[in-house]
Amino acid sequence: MEQQLGLTRTTQSRRAWLTLNYRWMHLFFTKNLSPGYLTVIDLQRRATWIGLALLCQSLVGVTPASTFIQGFDGQWYLPLLELSGGLLPIGLTIGGIFAMWKAIQPTTLRQRLESTEQHGGRAQRMALLRTLILFLVGAVVAIVIIVQCFLPPSFSNDGTSLDTNAAQLLLQGKNPYTSSSILDIARDFAIQPGWTTPLRVGQFAGKLDYPSSVEMRSTFDTALKAGQAPEFESKVSYPALSFLTLIPFALFKFYNVLPFYLLCYIALAWIAWKVSKQQLRPWILLFTLANVPMLTSVIGGNLDIFYILLLVLAWLFRDKRWLSAIFLGLAMASKQIAWFFVPFYLMMVWRNIDRRETIYRAMIAGMVVVVINLPFVIWNPGAWLAGVLAPMADPMFPLGVGLIDLSAFHLLPYLPSWVYLLLELGAMGGALAVYWRICRVCPEAAMLLAVVPLFFAWRSLPSYFSCTAFPLFILMVARHRTTADKGNRPKAQKAIG
């Protein structure tokens, strides 16, 4: 009899493994399939697509770069490496965009009812297990972030080091837009040449392929000896709020700014927890650590964490004129990528309220940008304009995980930069047309549609796309909770009356 009982338990455990029917999975897929839970069921289904988007964006970060492929020059398998290296990043980027679109794709009531039949099925449980793998990876990254918060500064990108140095220069009474020097930063913070942004001038003039690590090191060492570095970006290339937020660190001479970006991410996760229903909070906890792309941005001290937090707040408070517009203005005053979201925000206000409200909010957001940047414009207008326009005007190398990736791996010839600009503008027009149709029912779609044009840009860095999936889900669950609250309010008032 004990043998039969043991055999039964073994059979049940194998069946649980084959069907992936574990009790803890009910935390993520509700068993209540009544009409009242239709919204929760739909959001849990959409969450599986967000998990797939996070997986694609995470894998983009580990695909081989073109400079890595150059190290195998002359090898017989080089064409195969170039093919895989060129197709994987762009394929994963497209996969992430597709997964986010599936997460926000509008559905009819009939489609939502039909989806309840597959709710919690094997495919969705497999998607949950894939996301759990990312959760474990993200937990390790989170531990590394916490440890590095107590270590000396280590800058893995020149943007963070330039902003930190700008805050230091401002406290010394110097204009960050005129006194910034990548060579001084290299001496103070010991940054590596591979963490800088090379320009197609000087020794790199006339080239299109991104310099190899050896070329970067050799040119940078020469620049240090000569005291001039025309081949490397030295300008503060962001609006003023990018470094004004780091003044407290410079004031106390604590140049490890990682805690600031970690706090921004914690604030984003806290907001997600507050705006979500109880049945969706397990997904919020899961995505907080499974969000490897944003966690790696935190560990790199990328400014994207800050501006995306401000944009999420602008969309969350879209029913409040001043609060929402101020957050939008702060985002615009921190990084230029936030500018891509402005047309979508104004369109959302126009479609949901009216044209006059759109004008008011545009003026408020514009005033915030002017107030923050005006002192530096007055100080030296030419230097401020050159710095803010540097990402667009300076001769940077083509780089990214979008269309340009095929040219970087020599699968397609390089096209003139104006061709990529036209493609980008065309994609922006198409994205705005789509948003015009769905912004009333899906205002959070801007988190995806605003970055789609960057896929066709001359520079389409992974960070442009990696900070969108989790914010998209946050706004999605917040909208459904707000809609449910508004729907319940008249009933409650009627009952009280």
| pLDDT in the model for residue 74 | 45
Count of residues making up the chain: 497
Angstrom distances, CA of residue 36 to CA of 42, 55, 295: 11, 31, 35
- For β-strands 459-460 and 399-400, DSSP reports them as parallel
| pLDDT in the model for residue 77 | 46
- What global pTM score does this model have? 0.89
Nearest of 439, 240, 476 to residue 341 by alpha carbon: 439
Q: Which residues pair with 346 in a beta bridge?
A: none
Q: Which residues pair with 399 in a beta bridge?
A: 459
| pLDDT in the model for residue 485 | 55
| pLDDT in the model for residue 384 | 95
The beta-strand segments (E) located in 442-497 are 459-460
pLDDT along the chain (497 residues), means of 10: 44 46 80 77 92 93 56 49 71 94 85 74 87 94 92 80 91 93 82 85 89 88 85 91 93 90 96 92 95 91 93 95 96 95 96 93 97 95 93 90 88 90 96 94 94 94 91 93 56 34
3-state secondary structure of 198: strand
| pLDDT in the model for residue 155 | 74
Distance CA 369, CA 347 (A): 20
| pLDDT in the model for residue 9 | 42
Residue type for position 319: D
Distance CA 28, CA 125 (A): 9
Residue that has been written with the tokens 């009333």 in this structure:
440
- Please answer whether residues 269 and 284 qualify as being in contact, where contact means their C-beta atoms are separated by less than 8 angstroms: yes
Q: Which residues pair with 400 in a beta bridge?
A: 460
| pLDDT in the model for residue 289 | 95
Which residues, including other chains, have CB under 8 Å from residue 157's CB and lie 6 or more apart?
Answer: 195, 300, 301, 302
H helix intervals, 190-240: 213-226
The pair of structure tokens assigned to 66 is 């073109």
| pLDDT in the model for residue 435 | 96
- Please answer whether residues 451 and 57 qualify as being in contact, where contact means their C-beta atoms are separated by less than 8 angstroms: no
- Please answer whether residues 448 and 455 qualify as being in contact, where contact means their C-beta atoms are separated by less than 8 angstroms: no
